Structure 1
Amino acid sequence: MKHKLLFIVNPGSGSHNLDLHAVIKNFFADKDHDIEIFELPKDCDSGQIKQTIKKTAPTRVIAAGGDGTLKLVAECLLNSGTPIGILPAGSANGMARELGIPTDINLALDLCIQGTPKSIHVVKINGELCIHLSDIGFNAYIIKKFDDLPQRGMWGYAKASWHALWRHHKMNVELRMGNQDIQSEAAMVVIANATMYGTGVKINPEGKLDDDLFEVILIKQYSIAEILKIRFTSLPFNPEKIETFHTKKINIQTKHLVHFQVDGEYMGKVKQIHAELLPAAIQIII
């Protein structure tokens, strides 16, 4: 089948100097598909991408970048039925890892042509679309520090994490889900559509991208031992440190302003979170 592919390329993604524009052009030089490449300008908004999609009328749209690029593309194609491909080229490619998409660029490009669209749900959080993972507290603070550092990639992430371990403080949170009302101290609260972060830490082993619920993980204490257990074993969480809840909707209230991130993008500080499931909202090529 011949495709018309629109590549939305984030030239600032990742820590490498790969020329994605050239790689894409070379890959399709001897193939019978129509391609268009749109490089995201600085401070690009969804209106520019929607206009490009409308003008191009592609059969598939490919997000070339990290989780933030995928989020931006998904916002433009919400409930449209147009399949989205992933070309993992970010500092952390959590959704690509989640779906088993190859990190090799040529293999990922081939999958964009040969792969099958799969419907997945997303979560709307304070008006923002979350495809992968969102959180308040410790990890959001790491992302803020990471964004402030000149280094990209895993070294920069490790440096930001070390800084956060020494500087971040616990929060007082209230979680409201239906008839449940939970008050607790927390190092971090995760709203999880997927199972793992781009670093490979499986924070939500019970998650499924196409079920009727999302998970809320209440991390009462930031425990290196628990994170290692999550990553390298199938043992359950210690409920004294980490609890998981399943829901379609949640309201979170914090006593003080806390750091907030969605799909790896730092969103600033908040005191309130409202999250709601949007079922079968996008199509991802797997």
Structure 2
Amino acid sequence: MKLLFIINPGSGSHDINLKEVISTHFKGGDVNIELFELPDDCSLDKIKAKIEQSQPDRVVAVGGDGTLKLVAECLLNKEIPIGIIPAGSANGMAKELGIPQEITEALDLLKNGKTQKIHVVKINDEICIHLSDLGFNAYLVKKFDTLPERGMWGYAKATWHALWNHKRMDVELNIKGETIKSKAAMVAIANATMYGSGLKINPDGKLDDELFEIVLVKDYSYLEILKVWITRLPFNPKKVEIFQTSAIKISSKHKAHFQVDGEYMGKINTVEAHILPAAITVIV
């Protein structure tokens, strides 16, 4: 078996030498490995060229959700399975798939794990494998990227700042010909069920059906989300509503902060999204 590791050296806050850990783990075994560290100016074309040149049996994303998204874009609708080594700040998709957060345990899974096809969501010109949103959380992601602290402490500081500074939006959702107008703190396009922090925003989400969820958070209802997470009771529809769909158009009266899989994309007025069924294969 040949494994190609796509390593993002800028992911997370750890001081582990990822190349050394991976090389040591597979030394003397029957797995052939190749390591490709993402350069600062890396493009999708460079990663695709590396995959084509390497001809691996499996490609492994070493980093956070953003690194996994890059690899997934290169392998859309291809049969090559994608492995995940969680080395980012939050590692939401790894947690979603039950992949061990301990790196050596995750490395063991690459050879022995089973494969599963999952869908992704095409959002404007991007793909989303985990969670995307307009509003509060996207503003939080923007703020988090400017802070020197990483990990959960940085996330807590960014959340506090966002709660004080972000304003609600006027949004319009067009789902299956029906139009819903609302004030909103945030609108999430949820492929997965929870953020990397463990906060479960989409309790009914599945990665292998042909639907995704729209989570309309009408006010700053983190307490409501925490209540659902702890008690498993349904959301209060006055605060949070969930819609299932395979396509949607979201419009905001004023430009709103927007993020995809933890990457801040700027401020936009309109989001169009649709499902790409069974688009990638992951090792779980």
- What band does the TM-score fall into relative to the shorter chain? over 0.9
**Residue of structure 1 equivalent to 2:94:** 96
**Cα drift, residue 178 of structure 1:** 1.1
**Residue of structure 1 equivalent to 2:66:** 68
From 265, 268, 276, give the equivalent of 2:274. Answer: 276
**Residue of structure 1 equivalent to 2:75:** 77
CA distance in 2, matches of 1:153, 1:112: 25
From 171, 174, 178, give the equivalent of 2:172. Answer: 174
**Residue of structure 1 equivalent to 2:238:** 240
Q: Give % identity.
A: 64
CA distance in 1, matches of 2:229, 2:11: 26
1:109 aligns with 2:129: no
CA distance in 1, matches of 2:228, 2:9: 33
**Cα drift, residue 26 of structure 1:** 0.3
**Residue of structure 1 equivalent to 2:197:** 199
Moved more, 220-229 or 196-205: 220-229
**Which amino acid in 2 is paired with 1:161?**
T
Q: Is the 8 A contact 1:95 1:198 kept in 2?
A: yes
CA distance in 2, matches of 1:272, 1:170: 16
**Cα drift, residue 224 of structure 1:** 3.0
**Residue of structure 1 equivalent to 2:123:** 125
What stretches of structure 1 of length at least 5 have no aligned partner? none
TM-score with structure 2 setting the length: 0.99
Counting only pairs closer than 5 Å after superposition, residues 148-167 of structure 1 correspond to structure 2 as: 148-167=146-165
CA distance in 1, matches of 2:77, 2:19: 28
Query: 1:55-109 CA deviation, whole Å, 9 max, x = no partner?
Result: 0000000000000000000000000111000000000100000011001111100
**Residue of structure 2 equivalent to 1:11:** 9
Query: 1:109-148 CA deviation, whole Å, 9 max, x = no partner?
Result: 0101111110000000011010000000000000000001
From 165, 184, 187, give the equivalent of 1:186. Answer: 184
**Which amino acid in 1 is paired with 2:6?**
I
CA distance in 2, matches of 1:112, 1:162: 38
Query: 1:143-179 CA deviation, whole Å, 9 max, x = no partner?
Result: 0000011111111111111100000000000000112
Q: Is the 8 A contact 2:174 2:180 kept in 1?
A: yes
From 133, 136, 151, give the equivalent of 2:134. Answer: 136
SS in 2 for 1:106: helix
**Cα drift, residue 230 of structure 1:** 2.4
From 248, 251, 254, give the equivalent of 1:250. Answer: 248
CA distance in 1, matches of 2:6, 2:80: 14
Aligned in 2, Cα 1:43/1:231: closer, same or farther, shift over 3 Å? farther
**Cα drift, residue 30 of structure 1:** 2.3
From 45, 48, 56, give the equivalent of 1:47. Answer: 45
**Cα drift, residue 205 of structure 1:** 0.3
Q: Is the 8 A contact 1:215 1:245 kept in 2?
A: yes
Query: 1:191-238 CA deviation, whole Å, 9 max, x = no partner?
Result: 001100000000000100001100000000112320211221201000
Aligned pair count reads 284
**Which amino acid in 1 is paired with 2:219?**
Q
**Which amino acid in 2 is paired with 1:130?**
C
TM-score with structure 1 setting the length: 0.98
What stretches of structure 2 of length at least 5 have no aligned partner? none
CA distance in 2, matches of 1:116, 1:46: 27
From 207, 220, 223, give the equivalent of 1:222. Answer: 220
Q: Is the 8 A contact 2:225 2:235 kept in 1?
A: no
CA distance in 2, matches of 1:66, 1:52: 20
Q: Is the 8 A contact 2:134 2:186 kept in 1?
A: yes
**Residue of structure 2 equivalent to 1:38:** 36
> Aligned-residue CA RMSD in angstroms?
0.7
CA distance in 1, matches of 2:253, 2:235: 26
